[in-house]
Amino acid sequence: MEATLVTIVHELFGIDIAVTTSRPEPQFGDFSTNVALQLAGRVGKPPREVAELIAAKLRETNNYADVSVAGPGFINITLADSTLLSALSAPAPSTESHTYVIEYSCPNAFKEFHTGHLYQTIIGDIIARLVETAGHTVHRTSFGGDVGLHVAKCIWGMIATLGGELPEKLASVEATPFARARWISDCYVRGAGAYEESDEAKVVINELNKTIYSLHTQPDNQSAIAQLYWTTRQWSFDYFDAFYDVLHVDHMHYIPESETMPIGMDVVREQLEKGNLKESEGAVVFEGDETKHLHTRVFVTSKGLPTYETKDIGVIWLERRDYNFEKRILITGNDQQEYMRVVFAAAELFRPELTGEMTHLTNGTVRFGDGSKMSSRLGNVTRAIDVFNVVREKVSELVSDETLVDSVTLGAIKYVFAKYRLGGDISFDIDETISLAGNSGPYIQYAHARARSIVAKSTLEPSMPEDAALDPAERNLVRKLGEYNDAVSRATNELAPHHICNYLFELAQEFNRFYELSRVIGHEREALRLWLVGRYADTLAAGLGLLGIDAPENM
């Protein structure tokens, strides 16, 4: 359609212009273009006159049921019912295939997942699936700290809790991934508190920090500290997997900092020689460019320790080495936006071939309904698993079938995070999350189950309407169903999953309107309507699938 318009415009006015069409409100037709408005100035004629000239040409093609000019000069196009129906069977446009690395979730070892991780894990999982569904190869990665001060605080806390450097006493901790993670977290809180309150502990912890780094540089599996560290580090990794299983998300390959650090340090040495990094006040820094508003950042501290800048460079180099990515998408909290700009700028300076290959998406802070911020200070976090459990409890009260509880719980949680545009802070309200009404996961799941039950109830075979004229309610539903591919490709291209939520909700509303007006079972148009209902259920299921949400047959 766009191509036809481009040709017509060229023939009429000798102007080449990019034509876009949009989906107007039903009263105006199926497609609309404002090309006449854009041309009016250049052609020197009133917009409506331009529109009429183009509309006349469009009518000559006989491809459309109606072409009209409205408002200031919009050209509205109405398709024949058969065209609208055949569009439903059109496959999604294929794109060229690339190799992607998508990095998200990124929990630190020795810590628990909090609500921010929950949000980011769900969003990352959806984005990865969208990109994969579009035909690309996707490698999911997650990057986090298995060395560093937070680990030292934690190990200090373990020693205090166990009453000494006694790795054998770890056996007394309840041997489930979540219990172990909880225990580690308690130790961290203890260590972090001691670090603040006791100068003595602070000295010990700083010393421990160096020891832990050395466990990687001079492999040690024997000492008590080493046993404590390697055992509980593995507990953390096991806990990550257990958590992802609870969420029913794809696992990512975890890249610990200890692995990227040496790679980053090699890069630092190399770039220092090249002059891309400079020594300053005993540290190695990347000098920011004031004109580009890039901060100066430290890559190696005056104590010779790598900062996250170096580790982040390391992870980029590692991912490039292991996956040879063509595109890299990184998702972090939006507090890292400025910081990451510098890392990307440095990476592109060090390796110009990376320019333009990396995208940084940021998620906002998860806030409670009352606007307060969830804090991770001293372990005062809202744990992700608590959120899951609270929602699950509420859902079990409302859903009678026990086997559906997990599906609906995850449907509610994933949907509530997916429906916001990425970037801004989001408001998290438990009551709203478990609400089954309105724009929610369970609403869509229920809408799907309802449609399935209608199909199941009929004894007829659904039949796709060939030349049958559609009544207005049917037509509106078909029209909306036809927008699925647009919604998905928009979500994929913009890396914005919320477009899918919006679409699915609008589709369900459209169907409910249809369903109020249109008897299915027992009606003379039963077979045709059955086909529509089935098609609708399939579309909802597909959309929910992209969001990583189950679509139960019955609810």
Partner RNA sequence: GCCCCGGUAGCUCAGCUGGAUAGAGCAGAGGACUUCUAAGCCUAAGGUCGCAGGUUCGAACCCUGCCCGGGGUACCA
Residues 521 to 540 in contact with RNA, rule: CB under 7 A: 521-522
The structure tokens listed for 226 are 């080493």
Closest by CA position to 366, among listed 333, 330, 340: 333
Q: How far is the CB of 390 from RNA (least distance, A)?
A: 17
71 binds RNA (CB under 7 A): yes
**Binding status of residue 472 toward RNA by CB under 7 A:** no
Question: CA 176, CA 179: separation in Å to the nearest integer?
Answer: 5
Span interacting with RNA, options 125-133, 225-233, 308-316, 465-473, rule CB under 7 A? 308-316
* Nearest distance, CB of residue 331 and RNA, angstroms: 13
Is residue 305 a contact point for RNA (CB under 7 A)? yes
Q: Establish if 365 lies at the interface with RNA (CB under 7 A).
A: yes
Q: How many residues bind RNA (CB under 7 A)?
A: 95
Decide: residue 481, CB within 10 A, 0-12 exposed, 13-18 middle, 19+ buried: buried
Contacts of 472 (CB under 8 A, 6+ apart): none
Q: Which of residues 405-444 bind RNA (CB under 7 A)?
A: 408, 419-421, 423-427, 429, 432, 435-439, 442-443
Q: Which stretch binds RNA (CB under 7 A): 82-90, 112-120, 221-229, 508-516?
A: 508-516
Strand partners, 31: 77
What residues from 268 to 287 belong to the interface with RNA (CB under 7 A)? 280-283, 285
Under 8 Å between Cβ of 447 and 508? yes
d(CA 177, CA 453): 39
Instruction: Look at residue 357 and give its three-state secondary structure.
Output: coil
3-state DSSP of 222-280: CCHHHHHHHHHHHHHHHHHHHHHHHHCCCCCEEEEHHHHHHHHHHHHHHHHHHCCCEEE
Rounded CA-CA distance 206/194 in Å is 12
Question: Using the rule CB under 7 A, is 338 a contact of RNA?
Answer: yes
By beta-carbon proximity to RNA, the closer residue of 183 and 420 is 420
Q: What order do you get walking across the sheet with 21-22 strand by strand?
A: 21-22, 31-33, 74-78, 66-70
- Stretch of 83-91, 124-132, 451-459, 540-548 contacting RNA, by CB under 7 A: 451-459
By the rule CB under 7 A, 298 interacts with RNA: yes
Among 109-117, 220-228, 316-324, 520-528, which window interacts with RNA (CB under 7 A)? 520-528
Within residues 138-157, the interface with RNA by CB under 7 A covers 145, 148-149
Residues 204-263 close enough to bind RNA by CB under 7 A: none
Q: Which of residues 34-63 bind RNA (CB under 7 A)?
A: 34, 37-38, 40-41, 47
- CB of 106 closer than 8 Å to CB of 66: no
CB-side exposure of 362: number of CA atoms within 13 Å?
A: 14
Residue 13 touching RNA (CB under 7 A): no
- By CB under 7 A, residue 301 contacts RNA: yes
Of 424 and 545, CB closest to RNA: 424
Residue with tokens 């017509």: 8
Smallest gap from Cβ 124 to RNA, in A, equals: 16
Give the one residue of 104, 499, 500, 548 binding RNA; rule: CB under 7 A: 499
375 sits near RNA (criterion: CB under 7 A):
no
